[in-house]
Amino acid sequence: MLGTLTRYLRFMGYDTMSANSLSRGSSREDTLLLEIAVRDDRLLLTRDRELARRGGEQAVYIASEEVMAQIRQIADLGLIEPEIRMSRCSLCNTRLRPATLREIREARYAPRSTRGKEFSWCPMCRKLYWMGSHGTSLERRLKESFSS
């Protein structure tokens, strides 16, 4: 439901769990999400009005289907600072660490020129990250969204 928002929040450095990581089709999924939010002191972001109502202060109803409007909403609530930090894996949420020269060399998708770039590595997904065109594009979209 909020997969794109989840990835953006991870790019912004936020410890973000997704309902997609739970087993699908569970009739207790909503209850489980609320239990996790309370147990781990997390905020539940949802497009489900009833789930947000049940969650009370532990939940936020996300009004828009558009990701930039979603980010603006939670930033306006004072819950996030919208800037790209590249400190978490966008896929699995693991904290990134500095990449080794070997990891950079062995990543087939790494840029040819590494001069002036900082690289990070996800030890779980074995994925290389750097501030390239994708990160720059996300940064630009955030700036444009918050300057208007």
Q: Which residue has the higher pLDDT, 34 or 28?
A: 34
The answer to whether 119 and 129 are in contact (CB under 8 A) is yes
Contact partners, residue 9, CB within 8 Å, separation at least 6: 16, 80
CA distance 41 to 56: 13
Query: Where do the structural domains in the chain lie, given as residue ranges?
Result: 1-85+131-148, 87-130
Q: Is the pLDDT of residue 1 over 80?
A: no
Contact partners, residue 50, CB within 8 Å, separation at least 6: none
The answer to whether 125 and 94 are in contact (CB under 8 A) is yes
Structure confidence at residue 134 (pLDDT)? 85
Structure confidence at residue 27 (pLDDT)? 64
The answer to whether 64 and 73 are in contact (CB under 8 A) is yes
Mean pLDDT of 71-97: 96
Express each pLDDT in 41-53 by its tens digit: 999 999 999 999 9
Would you place residue 91 in the very low, low, confident or very high pLDDT band (cuts 50, 70, 90)? very high
Q: Is the pLDDT of residue 29 over 90?
A: no
**How much is the pTM?**
0.89
Helix (H), strand (E) at residue 124: none
Which tokens go with 100?
Answer: 């080794």
